[in-house]
Structure formats: C-alpha cells, structure tokens
Structure 1
C-alpha cells in the first residue's frame, strides 16, 4: 500500500502492476503519479487542461475530468491557470479575480477589499444579487430598482418621485414639498373662505 512501511521495492507491490518504490522506508508512487483514495494504486497526475480519463487523475482542487481536467461547475480557472476559484453567488462574496464576480452577477468587479461589488454607474439593492444601472429622475427605466434616487419609482417607464413627493431644484432628490404646498394651499383656501364674507359685509356697510 502506498504510504506503508517498506525496506525494499518489492514490499510495495501493487495489484494493478503499476510500479511503486520504497523511498525512505515508505512506499511511494513514481514521478508524475499520485496514490488513489485508499492508497492501493498509483494514478497519473494531471493538471488543468491536461488529457485525462478519470476524475481521480485531476489533482487541482475542485477540478474534474471531461476529456481534459477542468474546473467543476460554479468554479472558474484562475488567470495563472493553476487553480479553480469559486464563482460568487451574491454581491459581497469574497473574490480574488473579477471573473469570479462576473460569471453570475453581471456588472460587477472584484474590489480592492476582495469582495464582489457593482461597477461604477451601477448600484445594488439587497437582497437582490444583481447590479442595477444608476438611472436618475426623468430617465427611462423598467424596474423600480433601477431608479437610483431614494423614494423614486419607475412609473410609465420613467423614474419619477413617489406619491406626495416632487423633485428638488436640481432634479436629484425627491422632497416632501408637494405635500407641504398642498397643505399650505388648503389653509389659504380656508382662510379666504372665512375672510371674504366679512370683507363683503364691510364693503357693503361702508357704501
């Protein structure tokens, strides 16, 4: 058995006929080979992109055999082509290369802090695992989440302020002035309705 104690090469006999050697009193596989899971045989060592016949030949972590050794589903091959990196499932997942983020998340990048974040010009609204374009007031939209201004909604395909709100002077924020002005207008109407009859009586009596 590979890893077992030995004194001579013959102590390391393998039923498959694959040669094994006694090295420093321990049975080892020949060069470019590694032991199988239970140590009863030596298997060819194959790295990423190398031709293979079984998954056990692929020694890169999270790789499998598909004619050649390649990364498993939900993993990407590193830029150095020497490892398989986990693809991100959501914004904020850890990363070391941009491709980990873009595989499933679209308009993202791997930040200097080492996590997936939206590209400039895009924003993320939890719990969505998607980056939406930054669309301001008056811009064309398809979803409320695309409207980057707080309290804005996508109405008739346009980012607009929600009910009871109006854009500020710079058209960059939604304010509550509309409700305030409505209340002020209502108060003025009430005051006028009370004052006008008295004004008419005063004018009538003075003539």
Structure 2
C-alpha cells in the first residue's frame, strides 16, 4: 500500500511537470524526483532541503524545508528557493515578489525594483509617480535624493507647508506669494494662475484681485462671469461687474471690446457706434448729420426701425417735396 502511494506521488509530480512545460508554467512541487537516504544527499544539491519519507529500509525523496518553494529542474536536480529581499540573491522573480511586491524582479541573480518602480522605506517596491500625478499611497511619491512626498487626496504632493513641486516634478521648492521674488514659474504655484516675471505675478489672461492675494480670470466678452470690475475692464474698456456679469454702465452699451454711449433713433450722436450694438447693424442705422437715423428701407424692430417709421419718413419727405414744388 505504501509503495502504491509513493509511486502515485511520483506519477503526479511527473504529470505536473509535463503540464507545466507544455503550457509554460513555473512548477512548485512538494517533493523532488531526487531520491535520498540521508538529508545530506539533498543538501548537496540544494540547501534548505531534507530527505523526506525515508527510513532504514526505505528510500525517500528530497523536499524543501518550510518557507521554501521547490522548482523542479530535471530528475537529478532541483532548487529550494525562499523569499529574497532587495539586492539579495535570487533565481526567480517569484522570490523577490514575495517580499518586494509584484513591482520587483530577479535581475542578474539579485532582487531589484522593476524599471519605473523604486524601493520605499518599508522595504517594498512601488510604482514611481510624479508630483501632481495620481497615487495610491505615499510609497508612490518618489523624489530625487531618495526623498518621498505624500499622497494627498489621491495625488502626490510635497510634504511640508509652503513647499511646491519643482518644474521637474521630482523635487520640491519653497513657494512664493504674489509680489515676491522668484526664479521659475514653479515657485509661484502657491497661488493658481501665476507666473514668474522677476516676481510672482498673474499670468496672461488673469488680473490681480482687489485684496492682492489671488488671480482672477479676465473677461473677454460682455456678460462673462466676474467677481470684480477689474476682470471686466482689463480687455473690455469701460466695462463694470454688475450682478456677477460684465456689462456697461447705465446709458452705455457694449460695442466690440468697449463701452459706447448709447443713442436712440432720433437722438444726437457723434458716431454710428453710438446708435448700434454691433457692426453688423451699420447698414440699418447710421449717425447722419449728428443724429441716429434708420437707413431708408431697412427694418429692425430691435433698433426701432420698422415699416411704419420708414413710411412716416417717406410721407414727410413727399409732403416737403410737394410744398417745395408749389412754392417754386
């Protein structure tokens, strides 16, 4: 009965080996194919092994000690491999990954972190993440000089207050406030939307807030959102911030990128822009003889030019012509 069990174990081991070789799988077996009478028979082939299931009248097989895995090489050779730490001797990636995580590999018979990964202070390998990029733990946030940042709200950032990511994203520099001297744009990132121009200033397209602590987006069109009037007047001459929208003061209207005094039909004017809100209406209303007038035959309810108005103008013109002719 014992012999049957023994041969069954050997048969299963052979089957597993053949299966693994066929499908490219690594084999980790409980016992080797190597027979033995004494522990020394096994140790001379691979340390951390012993002779298993042997006695005075029975030949055993070499087996790995607890904590070590067996890699069957052939019928006369095997190796018992245990976990290996960073820079420790290894033969298989598996040995390194047991301690260093899946981000480790066995390279030139020594464990190391894979390319794109690094060793953290806890003795494990982590994927390297740049400052500002997504992270899972502090271990991802590697910086130059074997320093580390911190994973905060899912992104790598500098550890200490007033530190900001340098332009290389693998080191930190002391941040500067608006108006303070600086050497590169990275130093100014304590305040969003800034750049370094000798000192930290608002970037193009932004204006300094009234309290001089933030940079606000400058409006480029009338009715853009705003918090302060400077946002409107930066690119829209004469515009003011009213109810969080860039508009013109009462009695003025937006024309192109500036506020123009408004003049209704029949009112005095100095330019056509005063009579119309946009250049496309210049064929409808014009400033003629110092007065805003509808162009003959043009209709625009918005501007106050309609058929009745044009008819009235035509009728008045006709009456004047008739009277003038009779006088002559």
Query: What's the TM-score once normalised by structure 2's chain length?
Result: 0.42
CA 163–94 in structure 1, closer or farther in 2 if over 3 Å, else same = closer
Cα 1:159/1:73, change in 2 over 3 Å: same
* Contact 1:91–1:130, Cα closer than 8 Å, also in 2: no
Structure 2 residue 274 is the aligned partner of structure 1 residue 139:
no
SS of the residue corresponding to residue 153 of structure 1 reads: strand
What's the CA shift string for 1:123-143, capped at 9, x where partnerless?
135xx23221123545340x2
- Deviant stretches of 4+, over 4 Å: 19-24, 148-152, 182-188
Cα distance per residue 1:110-152 (max 9 Å; x no partner): 111x211111121135xx23221123545340x2121369965
Offset of residue 52 of structure 1 = 1.0
* Whole-angstrom distance in 2 between the partners of 1:6 and 1:131: 62
Contact 1:33 1:45 in 2 (8 A): yes
Alignment CA distance shift 1:95-1:45 (3 Å): same
Match among 159, 162, 171 for residue 291 of structure 2: 159
Distance 1:182 1:64, change over 3 A: closer
Distance 1:96 1:27 in 2: 30
Rg larger in 1 or in 2? 2
Q: Deviations over 1:17-75 (max 9, x none)?
A: 9x768899x99533431233554211111121122111001111110011211101121
Q: How many residue pairs are counted as aligned between the two chains?
A: 171
Tell me, yes or no, if the aligned pair for 2:208 and 2:215 is still in contact at 8 Å.
yes
Q: Note if 1:42 corresponds to 2:172.
A: yes
Q: How does 1:44-83 map to 2 (within 5 A)?
A: 44-59=174-189, 60-83=191-214
Distance 1:27 1:102 in 2: 36
Unaligned runs of 5+ in 1: 166-172, 189-207
Post-superposition shift, 1:164? Answer: 5.0
Shift of 1:107: 1.5
Corresponding residue of 1:179: 314
**Is residue 240–residue 249 contact of structure 2 (8 Å, CA) maintained in 1?**
yes
Secondary structure in structure 2 of the residue aligned to 1:94: coil
